[in-house]
Amino acid sequence: MALTSSNGSSVIDRVAEGRLSPAQALRWLSESAGGKGSQGPATPAPTGTPASDEPSGGRDLEALAQVMAELDALVGLDRVKQAVRELRAYVEIRQRRAAVGLACEPLVLHMAFKGNPGTGKTTVARLVGRMLKALGVLPKGHTVEVERADLVGEFVGHTAQRTREQIRKAIGGVLFVDEAYSLARGGEKDFGREAVDALVKAMEDHRHELVVIVAGYDQEMELFLNLNPGLRSRIPFIIDFPDYTTEELLAIATEMLRARDYRLTPEARERLASALLYHRVGGWYPFGNARLVRNLLEAAIRRQAVRLQGAGAYSREELMLLRAEDIPLDEAGA
């Protein structure tokens, strides 16, 4: 796709440059065997007057503002938010450049989300889908979440078919492949490879109408990205999801409880903090992050119910309050 020398540019480029009429170009194309010119539309930037200053496509500013507000409302995730804002800026500037006829590379937005479970990957993927719709890049912006079991089949040929089916559902939006590295396990004969190949093909064929987001643990994702040489080169955006700090996990807990009309006593809050620390220091693997918080709280709510029933205390205040003894130290509720 050289855009330098005049004799190196293809017939198509010469039409864009105004050195060949469409009729002449077609004649040349049908005379050259196979009628196939060099790939890729013209890239040199004609310095013409801008057609209009509005970016192409249907942008929905209201929806965009809504999505960005939801993103900002997420606890922590500062680097991730920054990355999503960069993505938005990239798309918008590209649209403005295209509107004035400047050279633009094709827009490829496949992404890899690396991080432990419960670090917000799925939540952010959904927001990214909606954001890309609001920007007019994707027609629907919905998110289809799949994992190995949804893609891999039971016999030869079954996998490609199942994978294509999921891809078809996702077209127009985001295909979110959770724990993508599990497609790589099982070695050479595993059907996971077939799924990866089908994914790579779809990433190319449907790049205008589908964004594929592969997600998983940091190190395993590296292995996964190295699995198929086409994979890494087709995934320009890699976003790291760091583990939440204990303070952030406590903020998440407060948020979850507020939504359910519960409150923590200061002692309960302290005990929750030590439960979270216990998991972190204990090196439990996989460390559950926000999911761990949810499980701990659900166990606490069950324990509170048993305690209240035993004590026969049903005041509004008591019904809302989670005390230190309600907080379990691990997810099993012990």
Residues that bind another protein (CB under 8 A): 11-13, 15-27, 29-30, 35-37, 40-43, 46-48, 51, 55-59, 94-95, 97-99, 101-104, 106-107, 133, 135-139, 164, 168, 172, 205-206, 208-209
**What does the alpha-carbon distance between residue 160 and residue 299 come to, in Å, rounded to a whole number?**
41
Using the minimum distance from each CB to another protein, give the nearer residue, 22 or 310. Answer: 22
User: What is residue 2's DSSP assignment?
Assistant: -
Using the minimum distance from each CB to another protein, give the nearer residue, 11 or 251. Answer: 11
Closest distance of CB 29 from another protein, Å? 6
| Crossing angle of helices 246-259 and 266-281, rounded to 10° | 130
* Cα dist from 239 to 113, 181, 193, 231, 235, whole Å: 5, 16, 24, 15, 11
- Residue 324 amino acid letter: A
Closest distance of CB 228 from another protein, Å? 20
User: What is residue 245's DSSP assignment?
Assistant: P
Closest distance of CB 65 from another protein, Å? 18
Closest distance of CB 207 from another protein, Å? 8
Give 101's contacts (C-beta < 8 A, 6+ positions apart): 45, 46, 47, 48, 50, 51
Tokens for 38, please give them: 């060099």
* Cα dist from 99 to 3, 52, 107, 108, whole Å: 20, 7, 14, 18
Closest distance of CB 203 from another protein, Å? 14
Give 66's contacts (C-beta < 8 A, 6+ positions apart): 134
Using the minimum distance from each CB to another protein, give the nearer residue, 131 or 138. Answer: 138
Do 224 and 231 contact (CB within 8 A), yes or no?
yes
Using the minimum distance from each CB to another protein, give the nearer residue, 135 or 221. Answer: 135
Of 125, 199, 203, 178, residue with least CA distance to 286: 178
**What does the alpha-carbon distance between residue 81 and residue 239 come to, in Å, rounded to a whole number?**
10
Closest distance of CB 183 from another protein, Å? 21
Do 119 and 216 contact (CB within 8 A), yes or no?
no
Using the minimum distance from each CB to another protein, give the nearer residue, 11 or 329. Answer: 11
Closest distance of CB 30 from another protein, Å? 4
Using the minimum distance from each CB to another protein, give the nearer residue, 95 or 182. Answer: 95
Using the minimum distance from each CB to another protein, give the nearer residue, 99 or 238. Answer: 99
**What does the alpha-carbon distance between residue 165 and residue 185 come to, in Å, rounded to a whole number?**
22
Using the minimum distance from each CB to another protein, give the nearer residue, 173 or 288. Answer: 173
Closest distance of CB 201 from another protein, Å? 10
